[in-house]
Amino acid sequence: MSPPLPRDPIADAQRNWESHGWSDVAAPMAAITAIMRTQQILLARIEGALKPFGLTFARYELLALLSFARSGALPMNKASALLQVHPTSVTNAVDRLQTAGLVVRSPHPTDGRTTLIELTAEGRTLAKRATAVLNAEVFGQSGFGENDVNQLIRILGDFRRGAGDFTD
């Protein structure tokens, strides 16, 4: 990794915004930029932890989702909705997981338009092992304090609800 910068570039950006007369939006700008950067850091950690399994985060998420489905199978559109990604992203992930023998596609029993994604035994095993590693290496060492974790869950939950992700 590159050496740390001597200054926080996002704090600098916030100061730049303020000195240009955009003080009213400088703080949200900094918060949003920080979210972008944090996501990048976390994604890199996750991908690193999953690499030994030949998985990417997108594929892992799909495997994990399937492993929590009672039947171990879900329609593609359902997976797309729950993972909140474009249907074509699911198609892409399923293609690769299927090639790797971790899932199979099967026709929906009553709706000819729908395709079910089903976990194979291998897929289920790999999901378990990958989850164990992610828990140990990423989620268990996030670097967030316990209080901050709860703050994040609350703040981002409010945001996502407000953005129309879900109602409850």
Partner DNA sequence: TCCAAACCGTTGGATGTCCTAGTATATTGC
Partner DNA sequence: GCAATATACTAGGACATCCAACGGTTTGGA
Check residue 27 for interaction with its own copies (CB under 8 A).
Answer: yes
Question: How many whole angstroms separate alpha carbon 78 and alpha carbon 69?
Answer: 11
Segment contacting DNA (CB under 7 A): 7-15, 94-102, 131-139, 156-164? 94-102
* Contact criterion met (CB below 8 Å) for 76 and 115: yes
Check residue 142 for interaction with DNA (CB under 7 A).
Answer: no
Residue 155 CB contacts under 8 Å (≥ 6 apart), including other chains: none
In the bound state with DNA, the residue whose beta carbon lies nearer, of 33 and 115, is 115
Check residue 71 for interaction with DNA (CB under 7 A).
Answer: no
User: Cβ–Cβ contacts within 10 Å for residue 32, how many?
Assistant: 12
- Nearest approach, Cβ of 116 to its own copies (angstroms)? 19
Edge-to-edge strands of the sheet including 115-119?
A: 73-75, 115-119, 103-107
**Which DSSP state fits 2?**
P
Hunting for tokens 């992203």 — which residue is that?
89
Segment contacting its own copies (CB under 8 A): 92-100, 102-110, 117-125, 137-145? 137-145
Residue 11 binding target from its own copies, DNA, none, CB below 5 to 8 Å by type? its own copies
| Count of residues touching its own copies (by CB under 8 A) | 71
Check residue 129 for interaction with its own copies (CB under 8 A).
Answer: no
3-state DSSP call for residue 158? helix
Check residue 63 for interaction with DNA (CB under 7 A).
Answer: no
Q: Which spans of this chain sit near DNA (rule: CB under 7 A)? A: 40, 44, 56, 58-59, 75-77, 80, 85-96, 105, 108, 110-115
